[in-house]
Structure 1
Amino acid sequence: MSGIYIHIPFCKQACHYCDFHFSTSVKKKGLLVEMLCRELELRKNELPEKEIRTIYFGGGTPSLLEAGELAKIFRTIFENYEVTEDAEITLEANPDDLSEEKIEILAASKINRLSIGVQSFFEEDLKLMNRAHNSGEALESIKLAKQYFDNISIDLIYGIPGMDSERWKENLQTTLELGIPHVSSYALTVEPNTALKKFIEKGKIKPVDDAMAKVHFEILTETLKSAGFEHYEFSNFGKPGYFSQNNTAYWLGKAYLGIGPSAHSYDGISRKWNISNNPLYIKALESNELPLETEELSNTDRYNEYVMIRLRTKFGVSIEEVREKFGAKYKKYLLENAEILLEKELLKNENEILHVTEKGKFLSDGIAADLFFLEE
């Protein structure tokens, strides 16, 4: 199975923490949609496995797409790709876009899963992050969406300056009361060249407190586990039957095609990425040229990526799979370097599969780095 990711690089306004590629000018949105369709046509034979099981609209803000633009993209996909009948088709949406009219349009399309960027149900958090919606719109959009969609995920951010544990608990309680079956939750990260970083440096916003973020993460995992969610990836929690198939395919190393400015693709051997510039992307596709670069991944690159991704998931690092995929040298290296982590109880070995322990969960990226194979 394979997947298609489509990047919609437009937003109403810039969130202070965001470093994704987007533009706040939508003047060329229609033309860019045409070029997305052209890229889909030009790359239709690229995926090693022809069956498409997941389609994901990310951004940016895909909920800015109009009905005709969505229809054009879907028509192109279904004319050029073999999409399974049960394909998961997700669209990321901002609460302020989700009027009942807009939700009806989305429900009438081929979209069967919504990912709503709530981030917080508190006004002060939304203002600090410069979100385009308010707390009332966050609540109302979910209530409306539930009338048309069963498969709904929301994003929540913890570790926000000024957010104490009680406010974080209230965010989670609101989520549970709304009956959301999937939650993606991330610690607020201060990325270079963002407004958030500049505001912290100038003292306008307090620095992110890593210790508080860790407390919030522990509250998150305990609260959702008690409510019947499975913590199937470091930042993702789902009720049975509601795991993100798109994300799961990515974590399992399945091939995917990334369409649009800045979008990445992966075929198991190489990685490709499009230019992060809307005018140059459009110009290239108008000439039927693909504005992308390619990186061939070495065996070590693929091993390190496998370890990094799998340790974040419930699937863990299979010792035997490491030998099969990468060779005996990597298996030996993995076991040698895992030994001290097992002794510290940051890793556990269950049936020859390495998992991060509860003690090590918040340190999973650092644990993965300790297992990376370093070329001499």
Structure 2
Amino acid sequence: MHLYIHIPFCKQACHYCDFHFSTSLIQKPALVDALCREVELQADYLPTRHLETIYLGGGTPSLLTEAELNQLFETMHRHYTVAPDAEITLEANPDDLLGPPSDRLQPLRRLRKFVNRLSIGIQSFHEPHLRMMNRAHSADEAVTCVQLAREAGFDNLTIDLIYGISADSHDLWAADLAKALAFRVPHISAYCLTIEPGTVFGNWQKKGRFQAPDDEFAAEQFTMLVQTLRSRGYEQYEISNFAQPGWEARHNSSYWKQRPYLGIGPSAHSFNGESRQYNVAHNTKYIQAIEKGKIPCTVEVLSRADRVNEYLLTGLRTQWGCDINELTTLAETDFELLRRTELEELCQRGWLRFNNHKLTLTEAGKLFADRVAAELFVS
């Protein structure tokens, strides 16, 4: 089983981010107490109490103190057994991983006591791009933190990058990829810059102060990404995720494979195979409800169509694709017969491949993943 914990705090707001977080840390102690209480309240949500992966995301989990991490992990171990080889991931910003000049490894040694995988949000090694996105770290800190993470004993590292940022050429993106590859990290995640309503970029776009990424420009950078990483031995096991063989993210893969997971914290989602639930995205409301012993969530019982469509939406993004027999089971009817016309058209268009009872996207189809899935949706 799989456990996600949302840490809804950040030093500052990135201009592209629409995740739930607060830049005020006043409620952090009370929030950590509430997270621990929710772990207790939700202990029987999953089919078993044995965890194969734990993921601390956010927000910025690297803002947690050693005492707060200890409190969380002691609570988890009280209510769950954790597999000896469990993948335990923490998302971190580069600036949080750097100790004082007298002991640069101090924060990383602290984290090493609790987690065995770091996901470092670098986004770019180009200083002007970092400033434009309002990232809290510098390009130099991005480089240094990866080097120090290796020194601290973190072999299981992944770094996040963002592409599609407007520029005169693709040279800066090529340089970001070259820098990332120079570290020889086993996993790289890369996401296209998207402009979401309510973000700083979204508000700037409304006022004509910011231009959304050009689709063709972003598609060219995506192609560069795939070709460059593939040439260096990385497998694109999900559209935005690339790993050296054997280093795929086990926790995130559980989402794409529709495995049950529990999400703890404000705005966290959970899935038990039959329904999804969504915690309230408000720190104060979350804390107040948990203190009363209530889970502040909305529960959505999944219909037959929901389960088919979710499997299509997530499965087609991966190298494993969607099993036609599983789709038939979920749809309670012959899926191939039901969607024969759409399947044939998508294959003829060169976006979809149908072999050995598996539906997978072609290279061209990866640029239209959501559209392909939507054309196969059932109602």
TM-score range normalised by the length of the shorter chain: over 0.9
Residue identity opposite 1:123 in structure 2 = E
Using the alignment, how far apart are the partners of 2:304 and 2:336 within structure 1?
Answer: 13
1:225 to 227, 230, 234: 230
Report the CA distance between 1:163 and its aligned residue. Answer: 6.5
- Give the equivalent residue in structure 2 for 1:319: 324
- Give the equivalent residue in structure 2 for 1:132: 136
- Give the equivalent residue in structure 1 for 2:34: 35
1:91/1:114 contact within 8 Å kept: yes
- Give the equivalent residue in structure 2 for 1:84: 83
Residue identity opposite 2:244 in structure 1 = K
Structure 1, residues 254-290: CA drift from partner, whole Å, max 9, x if none? 0000000000000111000111100111111111111
Using the alignment, how far apart are the partners of 1:334 and 1:69 within structure 2?
Answer: 51
Report the CA distance between 1:343 and its aligned residue. Answer: 1.2
Residue identity opposite 2:251 in structure 1 = N
1:95/1:141 contact within 8 Å kept: yes
Residue identity opposite 2:6 in structure 1 = H
Using the alignment, how far apart are the partners of 1:217 and 1:306 within structure 2?
Answer: 24
1:330/1:373 contact within 8 Å kept: no
Structure 1, residues 79-129: CA drift from partner, whole Å, max 9, x if none? 1012111110000000010012111100122x0000000000001111111
- Give the equivalent residue in structure 2 for 1:144: 148
- Give the equivalent residue in structure 2 for 1:336: 341
Residue identity opposite 1:116 in structure 2 = I
2:54/2:88 contact within 8 Å kept: yes
Q: Secondary structure at the match of 1:41?
A: helix
Using the alignment, how far apart are the partners of 1:304 and 1:362 within structure 2?
Answer: 19
Structure 1, residues 198-252: CA drift from partner, whole Å, max 9, x if none? 1123232333111110000000000000000000000000001110000111111
Structure 2 residue 122 is matched with structure 1 residue 118 = yes
Using the alignment, how far apart are the partners of 2:336 and 2:79 within structure 1?
Answer: 41
1:161/1:205 contact within 8 Å kept: no
Residue identity opposite 2:327 in structure 1 = V
Structure 2 residue 44 is matched with structure 1 residue 45 = yes
5 Å matches for 1:204-223? 204-223=209-228
- Give the equivalent residue in structure 2 for 1:348: 353
2:9/2:58 contact within 8 Å kept: yes
Structure 1, residues 123-143: CA drift from partner, whole Å, max 9, x if none? 111111111111011001101
Using the alignment, how far apart are the partners of 2:307 and 2:48 within structure 1?
Answer: 19
Q: Secondary structure at the match of 1:328?
A: coil
Q: Tell me, which stretches of 5 or more residues in structure 1 are unaligned?
A: none
**Regions of 4+ moved over 3 Å:** none
2:182 to 177, 181, 194: 177
1:55/1:88 contact within 8 Å kept: yes
2:366 to 336, 341, 361: 361
- Give the equivalent residue in structure 2 for 1:8: 7
Structure 2 residue 236 is matched with structure 1 residue 237 = no
- Give the equivalent residue in structure 1 for 2:102: none
Q: Secondary structure at the match of 1:152?
A: strand
Using the alignment, how far apart are the partners of 1:72 and 1:108 within structure 2?
Answer: 13
TM-score when normalising by structure 1: 0.97
Using the alignment, how far apart are the partners of 1:364 and 1:174 within structure 2?
Answer: 28
- Give the equivalent residue in structure 2 for 1:56: 55
Using the alignment, how far apart are the partners of 2:355 and 2:259 within structure 1?
Answer: 24
Using the alignment, how far apart are the partners of 1:139 and 1:217 within structure 2?
Answer: 23
Report the CA distance between 1:359 and its aligned residue. Answer: 1.6
Answer with 297-306 or 202-211: which moved more.
Answer: 202-211
Using the alignment, how far apart are the partners of 1:76 and 1:123 within structure 2?
Answer: 40
Kindly tell me the number of residue pairs found equivalent between the two proteins. 372
Answer with 202-211 or 142-151: which moved more.
Answer: 202-211
Report the CA distance between 1:326 and its aligned residue. Answer: 2.9
Q: Secondary structure at the match of 2:38?
A: helix
Q: Secondary structure at the match of 1:370?
A: helix
Structure 1, residues 39-86: CA drift from partner, whole Å, max 9, x if none? 000110110133210100000000000001001100000110121111
Using the alignment, how far apart are the partners of 1:3 and 1:211 within structure 2?
Answer: 37
Using the alignment, how far apart are the partners of 1:306 and 1:352 within structure 2?
Answer: 15
Residue identity opposite 2:354 in structure 1 = N
Residue identity opposite 1:145 in structure 2 = A
Q: Secondary structure at the match of 2:53?
A: strand
Q: What RMSD in Å do the two structures reach over aligned CA positions?
A: 1.1
TM-score when normalising by structure 2: 0.96
Q: Secondary structure at the match of 1:25?
A: coil
Residue identity opposite 2:370 in structure 1 = D
2:279/2:297 contact within 8 Å kept: yes
Report the CA distance between 1:301 and its aligned residue. Answer: 0.3
